[in-house]
Structure 1
Amino acid sequence: MKAVHFGAGNIGRGFIGYLLSKSGYDLTFVDISAELVGNLNRLGTYKVVSLGGEKREETVGGIRAVVLQDDSGLKKAVEDADLITLSIGANHLKDTGKVLRDALQERRSRNPEQPLDVIACENALFATDLLRESVEEGAAEDFQNYLRKKVGFPNCAVDRIVPNASVQKESPIDVSVEDFYEWDVESAKVKVNSQIRGVNYVENLAPYLKRKIFLLNGAHALISYAGYRKQYRFVHEAIRDPEILTAAREFHSEAARALHLEYSMGESDLKQYSEKLIARFQNPYLKDELTRVGRDPVRKLSNNDRLVSPLLMCEKHGVECGGILYAIASGFAYDFADDPKAVEIQKSIRENGIENTVQRFTGLEKSGKLVLGIAERYRQITGKDSCSRFPYQ
C-alpha cells in the first residue's frame, strides 16, 4: 500500500505519517519547503519522541519526499497511491485542492481503475468536505463521476498535541509529540483504507469531531488567550492558574451539555473526556507555547470553528454560555504583536469598535445578545470598566 501525505510539518511527521508508516504504507511526503524535503530524502528516517511520564522514541523509516512545486514528481506519487492525507492547515485546503485536482485528473488518465481515499486531517469541522469542494470546483461531469466511483473523501477528527518542544534532536527532522493520540474516520466513505493502525472508524463522525473541536481546541484557545494576558508562556503554566482552570472547566461544562443535548452523548463520558484533556493540558514535558496554540485568531473566531460553533449549539439548546462568551472575548483581547491576524483584529477594534469587530469576524447578528455579551466580557477583560479582569475570580 502506498500513501502520499501533504504537509511534512510536525503533525505530518509526528502523527499521520507516523501511523501510516506503522501501518505498513510506503510513504511519500509533499511539502512546500525544499529544505525539509531535502532533509527527508537525505536522511530517509526520523525519530518520533513521545513526551509523557517517560520519554519514548520510535523510528519512522522508508520515506521519501517531493516538493509541492515539482509537478511531475507530485503527479507520479499520486498516480499509484492508495491513500492521500493532508495536514497543511485548513486555510490552505482550497488552493491545495486545485493542485490535487490536476494530479487526480492525470491519475485518471493513467490509472483509472485503482480506488483511492483522500482524508484532510485538520483542526476544522468536516475539512475533507471543504477539500472535495475545491477539487470538484469547475470540473467536468465525467471527472466528477470518476471521483464518485473511485475516490473516497471521508472526513475525520484528529487529536494529538505536537508542540515545538525543546528536546534534544539527533536530526533536524526528528519530532516531539504527546503520548496521546486519536484519529476518528468516517467509515461509510472509505473506499479501500479500512485498516490503518490507530484509526477509529465510526459511522457518525459528527459527535466525535465536534467533541474534539469544542473541548480540546476550544478550551486550548481559551487557555492560550487568557494565559497570554496573564503573561504566562506555556499551556501547562497557564492551566495551573486557578482562574484559568476554572474558566476552562466552565467552557467544558457548557460545551459538553450542548453536545449531550445535540447528539445524546453520555454526560459521564464527556466528563471523563474533559478530565483527560485537563490532565493533557497540564503535561509539563510538552512546553507548548501559548502563542503557538493561539495563533491566527481570525480563523479560531470564525463562525464554524472551535469557539463560535459551540456557542451557537448552546444557544440552540438554551444552555448557559457565559464561559464560552468569555473565551471568545479573550480571543478578541489577544494582542500579540507578532501574530498578523491578531494585529488585524486589534486594528479593527480601534477603527470600528468592539461590537462591529465581533460581528465582522464571527458572523453573529450585530445587535444580538451574543455579540453584546462578547463585547461586555471584552470590556471586562481589557479593564475598560470597573469589573474584574477575570470573571472567574
Structure 2
Amino acid sequence: MKAVHFGAGNIGRGFIGLQLVKTGYEVCFVDVNTTVVEALKTRNSYDVGYASEQAGRETVEGVTALNSLSEPEQVIAAIRKADVITTAVGPTLLAKIAPLIAEGLQQREQNTPVYIIACENMIGGSKHLEQEVARYQSIQEDWYFPNAAVDRIVPLQHHEDPLYVEVEEFFEWVVETKDLPESHPHINGVTYVEDIEPFIERKLFTVNTGHAIASYLGALFEKETIAESLQDPRIRRGVQTALYETGWLLLEKYGFNPVDHSAYIQKNMKRFENPRIHDEIVRVARSPIRKLSPSDRLVKPAKELMERGIEADGLARGIAAALTYFDPNDSESSELHAYISKHGIEDTLHTYLKLSAKDALGSRIIEHYEAMQNPVNSIA
C-alpha cells in the first residue's frame, strides 16, 4: 500500500504520516523544505517523541520524500501509484498543491480508486481541495474526497535533528464515510462516521476556540506559552467561560450528552495546561484574520449563540482580545493592526468579521476591546 502526504512538517510527520506507517503504508512525503526532504530521503526514518510523564519515543520507518518544486514529475508519478493521498499544509496552500495533485490523478489508470483526505484545521477541507483540483481536471467517480477532522497538539519544535518531532499523546482523526464505498481503506486510529459535521464543530468550537482564546488573552497579559497563560486565573476563567458557551451551542445543535461534553471540555483544558508542551503564543495566535472570519472558531459560534438568545460574553471577550493582538512578524496580524489604526474598530468589525457595531454581539466586542486598552482591568 502506498500513500503520498503533502506537508512534511510537524503535523505531517508527528501525526498523519505516523498513523499511515502504523497502518502499513509506504509513505512519500512531499514538501518544499530542502533540509527535511533530503534528510527523509537519506535516512528513510525519523523519531516521534511524546510529551507525557512516560516521555516515550518511537521510530517511524519506511518513509521517503520528494521536493514539489524541483521534482514535480516524480511527485506526479507517486500520485499515479498511490492508494491514499493526504495533506497537512494549511488551508491557504491547498490551492497551490491542487495543480500537481490534478496532474497526478489525471495520469492514473482507470478504475483504480484513490482517497484524498485534507487533514487541515478547516471545515470541509477535502471538499475544498476537490473544488481546487476540479479547476484543472474533471473529477472521476473513483476519486474520493472524504472530509476529515484532525486534532493533535504539535508545538513549535527546537531540536538539533530536523526530523525529530515531539507531540502530545492524545489525538483524534475522524473521517466521513457517507460518500465512500464499503471497501474504503481503514487507517490506524481513524474514527469513521457517517456525518462528520458534529465532530468538526465539536473540535473547532472546543479545541480551536479554546486554544485561540488562550493565545490572545495570553498575549494581552504578556505570556509566552499556552500552559503559562492558563496558570493565570483570569485567562483560565476566560477560556473556560467561552468553552461552556460553545458547549451550549453544540448541545443545542447536535444533542451531545451534557456530562460527556463537560468532560470533553475539561480534558482539553488539561491538554492546554500540559507543562511538557512548550506551545508558544506566537504559533497559536498567528493568522488572526483567518481565525476571526465569520465562518471560523470565534465569530461563528458567537453569532449562532446570540441568534438563539444565549449570551456569548466569553466569546466576545476572546474576539476582542484577538483584535488587540499584534505580531509584526505575522502578515495577517500586521494587516489587521494597520487597518484598526487607520479605520477604527467599528469599520474593522464590518470589514473583517462582517459584524455591525450596532448589534448585540458587535457592541459587546467593542465594549471589551475598549476595556482591553487598559488590560489590567480587562478581565473581571
Correspondences of 1:205-220 after superposition (within 5 Å):
205-220=196-211
**Does residue 8 in structure 1 map to residue 39 in structure 2?**
no
Q: Between 33-42 and 16-25, report the one with greater CA deviation.
A: 33-42
Q: CA deviation at 1:138?
A: 5.8
Q: CA deviation at 1:172?
A: 1.7
Q: Which amino acid aligns with 2:142?
A: K
**Does residue 155 in structure 1 map to residue 153 in structure 2?**
no
Q: 2:135 aligns with which of 116, 121, 137?
A: 137
Correspondences of 1:173-252 after superposition (within 5 Å):
173-191=163-181, 192-252=183-243
d(CA) in 2 for partners of 1:67, 1:80: 17
On the 8 A contact 1:45/1:62 being kept in 2, the answer is yes
Going from structure 1 to structure 2, the CA distance change for 1:163 and 1:388 (only over 3 Å counts) comes to: closer
Structure 2 counterpart SS, 1:64 = strand
Going from structure 1 to structure 2, the CA distance change for 1:341 and 1:73 (only over 3 Å counts) comes to: same
**Does residue 280 in structure 1 map to residue 256 in structure 2?**
no
Q: Which amino acid aligns with 2:67?
A: V
- The residue number in structure 1 matching 2:101 is 100
On the 8 A contact 2:102/2:136 being kept in 1, the answer is no
Count of aligned residue pairs for this structure pair: 378
- The residue number in structure 2 matching 1:389 is 377
On the 8 A contact 1:243/1:390 being kept in 2, the answer is no
**Does residue 53 in structure 1 map to residue 53 in structure 2?**
yes
d(CA) in 2 for partners of 1:75, 1:336: 38
Q: 1:354 aligns with which of 339, 345, 359?
A: 345
Correspondences of 1:363-378 after superposition (within 5 Å):
363-365=354-356, 367-378=358-369
Q: Between 293-302 and 189-198, report the one with greater CA deviation.
A: 189-198
Going from structure 1 to structure 2, the CA distance change for 1:194 and 1:365 (only over 3 Å counts) comes to: farther
User: Residue deviations 1:237-277, cap 9 Å, x none?
Assistant: 10111011101110111000001101111111110100000
- The residue number in structure 2 matching 1:259 is 250
**Does residue 299 in structure 1 map to residue 290 in structure 2?**
yes
On the 8 A contact 1:4/1:27 being kept in 2, the answer is yes
- The residue number in structure 1 matching 2:39 is 39
User: Residue deviations 1:16-49, cap 9 Å, x none?
Assistant: 0000000100100000122221111011110000
Q: CA deviation at 1:367?
A: 4.0
d(CA) in 2 for partners of 1:229, 1:364: 23
d(CA) in 2 for partners of 1:290, 1:241: 14
Q: CA deviation at 1:126?
A: 1.2
Q: 1:116 aligns with which of 114, 117, 128?
A: 114
On the 8 A contact 2:113/2:142 being kept in 1, the answer is yes
d(CA) in 2 for partners of 1:61, 1:248: 39
d(CA) in 2 for partners of 1:165, 1:7: 15
d(CA) in 2 for partners of 1:11, 1:135: 23
On the 8 A contact 2:346/2:356 being kept in 1, the answer is no
Structure 1 counterpart SS, 2:37 = helix
**Does residue 334 in structure 1 map to residue 335 in structure 2?**
no
On the 8 A contact 2:349/2:356 being kept in 1, the answer is no
- The residue number in structure 2 matching 1:314 is 305
- State TM-score, norm by structure 2: 0.96
- The residue number in structure 2 matching 1:72 is 73
Q: Which amino acid aligns with 2:43?
A: L
Unaligned 5+ runs, structure 1: none
Q: CA deviation at 1:350?
A: 0.7
Q: Between 2-11 and 338-347, report the one with greater CA deviation.
A: 338-347
Q: CA deviation at 1:229?
A: 1.4
Structure 2 counterpart SS, 1:47 = strand
Going from structure 1 to structure 2, the CA distance change for 1:95 and 1:165 (only over 3 Å counts) comes to: closer
Q: CA deviation at 1:221?
A: 0.6
d(CA) in 2 for partners of 1:330, 1:172: 34
Going from structure 1 to structure 2, the CA distance change for 1:238 and 1:388 (only over 3 Å counts) comes to: closer
d(CA) in 2 for partners of 1:154, 1:366: 38
d(CA) in 2 for partners of 1:366, 1:100: 43
Q: CA deviation at 1:10?
A: 0.1
d(CA) in 2 for partners of 1:103, 1:389: 56
d(CA) in 1 for partners of 2:364, 2:296: 19
d(CA) in 1 for partners of 2:47, 2:283: 22
On the 8 A contact 1:165/1:288 being kept in 2, the answer is no
Structure 2 counterpart SS, 1:188 = coil
Q: Which amino acid aligns with 1:93?
A: L
Q: CA deviation at 1:193?
A: 4.0
d(CA) in 1 for partners of 2:186, 2:310: 39
Q: CA deviation at 1:102?
A: 2.0
- State TM-score, norm by structure 1: 0.93
Q: CA deviation at 1:165?
A: 4.4
